[in-house]
Amino acid sequence: MKFIPGLLPSMIEAISDTIEKNAEEVTALDQAIGDGDHVTNLQRGIHALMAQRDELSRLDWVAAFQKIGMTLMSSVGGASGSLYGTLFIALSKAAREQPLNLQNFADIFTQGVEAVKQRGKAEAGEKTMLDVLIPVADYMRTAVADSIALPEVLENIALVAVAGMESTRDMLATKGRASYLQERTRGHIDAGAKTSQLMISAIVGVLSDQLTVPA
Ligand code: ADP
Ligand code: MG
């Protein structure tokens, strides 16, 4: 499998599809413990990325991540816009320091997640997108250390993301808008955790399909 920016248009399309398909469900989650705008916020970013997708596929990873981050920062809005924007800008910075290959990606992604933690002043267990992003980063580093085969890694990333998303249901929100509702947040999955899981699963799907295509 070639891990190239040429895959970006397919990834953006897959993300767009999954957010579209799950829009009602995610909106209901954000309505329950937030203000209901999470999907429309994200869709603004996705539409902007759809318009840039051919241009993005011609950049190298450092430039592509930077451009995606800037686009998300300026188009998404809400707490999630600056956090997803921060993630990609940090991925760009990390990818500048080491070549982007499947081994290094675990470390690069971890640095991106660390930047999100700092930006949101949040940790694991606070009922946010980080409850998906942190376990996925942790799993990737373990998988690289244990030299697990790529098809299995991809399958497991999707499972870890779902488990992380589900884990937010019983958590108490202590960051973001949901934190105003305190105990009433228990019993609801966090919208940002859900969209992170959906987007990660979409990317994994594109990479898994790529594995079956001869190089
Ligand atoms: P807003 O909360 O401003 O309406 P969105 O609805 O677009 O923004 O995004 C809400 C999501 O952002 C939450 O579901 C949560 O996952 C994530 N989030 C909010 N605050 C933080 C934070 N401090 N750290 C990490 N993630 C956060
Ligand atoms: Mg919201």
CATH classification at residue 194: 1.25.40.340
What percent of the chain has a predicted confidence (pLDDT) above 90?
A: 88
Tell me the H-state helices in 22-149.
23-33, 38-57, 61-75, 78-97, 102-120, 130-145
Counting ligands in written order, which one lies closest to the CA of residue 195? 1
Amino acid, res. 101:
N
| Structural contact between residues 111 and 94, judged by C-beta atoms closer than 8 angstroms | yes
Burial (Cβ within 10 Å: 0-12, 13-18, ≥19) of residue 121: exposed
Ligand 2 centroid – CA 100 distance (Å): 33
Which of 61, 34, 28 lies closest to 175, judged by CA? 34
Q: Which two tokens stand for residue 41?
A: 């916020």
d(CA 141, CA 130): 16
- Residue 182: the pLDDT is 87
Using most ligand atoms within 8 A of CB, pick from 22, 37, 128, 180 the residue to mutate for ligand 1.
Answer: 128
Q: Is 4 a residue whose pLDDT tops 90?
A: no
The answer to whether the Cα torsion of 83, 94, 45, 203 is positive or negative is negative
Q: Which two tokens stand for residue 138?
A: 């942790």
Which residue has its alpha carbon closest to ligand 1 atom 13? Answer: 192
* Structural domains of the chain, count: 1
Ligand 2 centroid – CA 35 distance (Å): 5
Instruction: Tell me how far CA of residue 186 lies from CA of 7, 30, 195, 201, in angstroms.
Output: 38, 13, 18, 25
Binding pocket residue ranges, ligand 1, CB within 6 Å: 30, 34-35, 37-38, 41, 78-80, 83, 120, 122, 128-130, 175-177, 190-193
Q: Which two tokens stand for residue 125?
A: 């267990």
d(CA 205, CA 195): 15
Q: What integer best gives the mean pLDDT of the chain?
A: 95
Residue with tokens 């991925």: 91
Banded model confidence at residue 111, pLDDT cuts 50, 70, 90: very high
Using most ligand atoms within 8 A of CB, pick from 38, 76, 117, 126 the residue to mutate for ligand 1.
Answer: 38
d(CA 86, CA 105): 17
Banded model confidence at residue 204, pLDDT cuts 50, 70, 90: very high
**Each residue's pLDDT tens digit, 172-200:** 999 999 999 888 889 999 999 999 999 99
d(CA 70, CA 85): 6
Global pTM?
Answer: 0.96
Counting ligands in written order, which one lies closest to the CA of residue 190? 1
Residues measured by CB to lie within 5 Å of ligand 2, the ion: 30, 34-35, 37-38
Average pLDDT over residues 9-31: 97
Residue with tokens 């249901």: 169
**Each residue's pLDDT tens digit, 65-97:** 999 999 999 999 889 999 999 999 999 999 999
The answer to whether the Cα torsion of 173, 178, 181, 187 is positive or negative is negative
For 79, the domain range is: 5-211
| Structural contact between residues 161 and 136, judged by C-beta atoms closer than 8 angstroms | yes
- Residue 214: the pLDDT is 66
Q: Is 168 a residue whose pLDDT tops 90?
A: yes
